[in-house]
């Protein structure tokens, strides 16, 4: 006789595999544009493939982090309903995290999806967000988004019992981060600059052996929620704060999310409850290998994680275009 816990485990396992199929479909579609210098075409292909793949997923899903407002995006827009029916879930997506990376065939382009029960993701407009993240096994207050970077590096080095010179800070290579970069180097730490893809950068800061110890800087708010979903599964600490350019953005954020829109956000403010996270590599990077295509088939490499169990699975899929079949190992 099958117990309810066994059925729940099987349902979660099946949903995790369905989620991987969604990110795989988007990655394969985007990979046709790798290195061709056409980021919009790559993004459009990923969005269309991901939206189509969601039609087979057994959920009653609502996109809360997506491609923008309904009048800005033809599909996977905020508020769109997706799925084949099932439990009510909030969905956060980035069909192609790293459009420029894909266009240039540069490392770390990913397709990303996260699921949580309704109401457990921060509902935020597509604006900028300030972020700081470190790995697990550290005091919760080891870093503070309102502290100077030098102070955070000293506290992190002390907590890890290493010299500041042993630490590497990851941030986006942007003009707005010039002061942050200068102060990091003045404090004695190394800097890893990435051109795009701060979801991968934040995850790297929380994964052992990545060579990254801390992520600091501003990037998209949707990417912040997706990164928080991943950290809920693998462990780590993260703080964030929405950044506004005008009062209209403040008003929109207040309508979408409860509380003071300018408040400091904790990891669980960004993503709470039981979270599922899946990503598939488009181009090879520190986290995942990219899609490789050969004749009538493609090989994908994905990661799928669940916060409740703390399980992290790496999945290699072989996709046969002629028969539309695939296998995973």
Backbone angles phi, psi at 6, to 5 degrees: -65, -40
Q: Is 53 exposed, middle or buried (0-12, 13-18, 19+ CB in 10 A)?
A: buried
Per-residue pLDDT of the chain (329 residues; tens, 9 = 90+): 444 444 344 446 678 889 999 999 999 999 999 999 999 999 999 999 999 999 999 999 999 999 877 667 789 998 999 999 999 999 999 999 999 999 999 999 999 999 999 999 998 878 899 999 999 999 989 999 999 999 999 999 999 999 999 999 999 999 999 999 999 999 999 999 998 889 999 999 998 888 999 999 999 999 999 999 999 999 999 999 999 999 988 888 888 877 788 999 999 999 999 999 999 999 998 889 999 998 888 999 999 999 988 889 999 999 987 666 555 54
pTM, rounded to two decimals: 0.90
Q: Are residues 85 and 140 located together in one domain of the fold?
A: no
Q: Are residues 198 and 232 located together in one domain of the fold?
A: yes
Asked if 295 and 318 touch (Cβ cutoff 8 Å), the reply is no
The count of structural domains within the chain is 2
C-alpha 174: how far from chain center: 19
Residue linked to tokens 């991943």: 230
Task: Quickly list H helices, 145-220.
Answer: 149-160, 178-187, 198-205
Q: Are residues 293 and 262 located together in one domain of the fold?
A: no
Q: Which domain holds residue 78?
A: 4-120+275-328
* Residue 109, domain CATH: 3.30.540.10
For residue 117, give both structure tokens.
Answer: 């029960």
* Residue 240, domain CATH: 3.40.190.90
Asked if 315 and 302 touch (Cβ cutoff 8 Å), the reply is yes
């Amino acid at each position: 006789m099958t117990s309810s816990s066994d059925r729940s485990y099987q349902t979660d396992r099946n949903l995790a595999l369905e989620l991987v199929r969604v990110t795989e479909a988007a990655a394969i579609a985007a990979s046709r544009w790798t290195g061709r210098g056409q980021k919009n075409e790559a993004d459009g292909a990923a969005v269309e493939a991901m939206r189509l793949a969601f039609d087979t997923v057994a959920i009653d899903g609502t996109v809360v982090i997506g491609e923008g407002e309904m009048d800005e995006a033809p599909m996977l827009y905020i508020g769109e309903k997706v799925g084949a029916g099932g439990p009510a879930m909030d969905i956060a997506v980035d069909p192609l995290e790293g459009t420029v990376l894909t266009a240039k065939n540069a490392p770390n382009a990913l397709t990303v999806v996260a699921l949580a029960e309704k109401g457990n993701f921060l509902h935020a407009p597509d604006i900028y967000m300030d972020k700081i993240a470190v790995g697990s096994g550290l005091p919760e207050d080891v870093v503070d988004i309102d502290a100077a970077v030098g102070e955070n590096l000293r506290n992190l080095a002390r907590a890890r019992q290493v010299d500041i010179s042993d630490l590497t800070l990851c941030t986006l290579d942007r003009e707005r981060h010039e002061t942050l970069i200068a102060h990091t180097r003045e404090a004695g730490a190394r800097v890893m600059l990435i051109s795009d893809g701060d979801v991968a950068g934040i995850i790297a800061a929380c994964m052992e052996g990545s060579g990254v110890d801390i992520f600091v800087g501003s990037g998209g708010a949707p990417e912040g929620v997706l990164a928080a979903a991943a950290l809920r599964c693998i462990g780590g600490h993260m703080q964030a704060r929405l950044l506004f350019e005008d009062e209209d953005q403040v008003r929109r954020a207040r309508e979408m999310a409860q509380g003071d829109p300018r408040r400091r956000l904790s990891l669980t403010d960004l993503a709470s409850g039981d979270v599922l996270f899946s990503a598939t590599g488009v181009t090879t990077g520190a986290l995942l290998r990219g899609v490789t295509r050969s004749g009538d088939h493609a090989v994908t490499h994905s990661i799928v994680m669940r916060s409740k169990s703390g399980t992290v699975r790496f999945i290699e899929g072989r996709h046969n275009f002629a028969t539309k079949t695939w296998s995973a190992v």
